Amino acid sequence: MTDALVCQDLTKRFDHHLAVDSISLTIARGEAYGLLGPNGAGKTTTISMLSGLLRPDAGSVHVAGHALAQDPRAAKARIGYVPQEIALYPELTGRENLRYFGRLYGLARRALQYRIAEVLDLVGLTGRADDKVGDYSGGMQRRINIGAALLHEPTLLILDEPTVGVDPQSRNAILEGVDELVAGGMSLLYTSHYMEEVERVCQRVGIIDKGRLVAEGTKRELVSRLGTSDRVELVLDGDLTAAADKLRAVAGVTEAVPTGTSSLRLLAEGSRHLLPTFIGAVEGVATITGVEITEPDLEAAFLHLTGSTLRD
Ligand SMILES: Nc1ncnc2c1ncn2[C@@H]1O[C@H](COP(=O)(O)OP(=O)(O)O)[C@@H](O)[C@H]1O
Ligand SMILES: [Mg+2]
């Protein structure tokens, strides 16, 4: 079977700003792929080009074997796109909203009625289907929005930061719904700047930073690039920049980055044995008052690959 998505050398420039810089990626059928990167990395711009909403300056997109540029109707019919902003009619009920979107997709009345019931069940809103969407919580609105993108049974579902601005309970409901879709065989492109969500939902992760896909792989593959480095958080009093320079010079330390007014983050091999060395190294410029060591994880991989943390 053809892959759910293949895009090659996708590029977009806004004036002189290269928002998306030659991104290529492939998503297999049934695969959940996470595009992880900070705000402004180029996630929404990439997705807009994949969905046919924004014309790329260069590059190609195939959805389930259909070329977006040559056969946009066929390619778009196989994508369910859920934008970051809610696009619903608040005066209509959940069911009425779905009916409206289903007609837009050209679904026949009879089939649509049946499909709406399925989709309501899928997003866990059967019990609230006949309430006005304006009375829904933010999380419920997101779920009905996801439902609208599923009506035409797309091959690939694209979710753009689906949990931003929702309460923890709704967030959990959204993630559970997405897990269920993936378990049912849906191909997924999930963008987020939340590491834990991507780790939970996706089998494969692409790290995007400043418009470039800087690394790609399973969580295990990305983390293994770090070797056996630990992530070390240090709390210090004193001159952080000078302390970072001194720590970077310690053998075994590969990164030392200030993360706040009194904290530094290091990547270091065998950090437990190096603690006395750290304390000695910063002597005269700073005092270490706290230490926390984390084994290699995706956060550490991200820091290693991009030189910054996700929540900068
Ligand atoms: N329509 C636009 N015009 C000009 N610049 C844009 C436009 N859309 C996005 N950008 C810029 O492109 C970069 C990538 O933005 P975006 O794709 O929205 O990032 P993300 O979704 O990862 O937060 C940002 O620097 C943003 O300011
Ligand atoms: Mg975005």
DSSP 102-157: HHHTT--HHHHHHHHHHHHHHTT-GGGTTSBGGGS-HHHHHHHHHHHHHTT--SEE
Categorize the per-residue pLDDT at 101 as very low, low, confident or very high, splitting at 50, 70 and 90. Answer: very high
pLDDT in tens, 3-49: 999 999 999 999 999 999 999 999 999 999 999 999 999 999 999 99
CA separation for the pair 139, 49 (Å, rounded): 26
Q: Whose CA is nearest to atom 8 of ligand 1?
A: 45
Beta pairing, strands 32-36 & 204-209? parallel
> How large is the average pLDDT for residues 216-235?
84
> How large is the average pLDDT for residues 63-90?
94
CB atoms under 10 Å from CB of 129, counted, come to 19
DSSP code at position 261: S
Distance from the CA of 157 to the center of ligand 1, in angstroms?
21
What single-letter amino acid sits at 4? A
CA separation for the pair 56, 285 (Å, rounded): 50
Residue 96 has pLDDT above 90, yes or no: yes
Q: Which domains does the chain have, with CATH numbers?
A: 5-221 (3.40.50.300), 228-295 (3.30.70.100)
Three-state SS for 97? helix
Distance from the CA of 43 to the center of ligand 2, in angstroms?
5
pLDDT at 219: 85
Q: Whose CA is nearest to atom 18 of ligand 1?
A: 44
pLDDT in tens, 297-308: 787 788 778 877
Residue 310 has pLDDT above 80, yes or no: no
Q: Are 305 and 296 in contact (CB under 8 A)?
A: no
CA separation for the pair 155, 150 (Å, rounded): 9
Q: Ligand 1 pocket by C-beta < 6 Å: which residues?
A: 14, 17, 19, 37, 39-45
159 Rama class: left (phi>0) / alpha (psi -120 to 50) / beta: beta
Categorize the per-residue pLDDT at 311 as very low, low, confident or very high, splitting at 50, 70 and 90. Answer: low
pLDDT in tens, 147-159: 999 999 999 999 9
Percentage of the chain lying above the pLDDT 70 cut? 98
Residue 312 has pLDDT above 70, yes or no: no
**Paired residues of 237 in beta bridges:** 287
Distance from the CA of 114 to the center of ligand 1, in angstroms?
39
pLDDT at 168: 87
Backbone angles phi, psi at 281, to 5 degrees: -65, -35
Mean pLDDT, the chain, integer: 92
Task: Report pTM.
Answer: 0.83
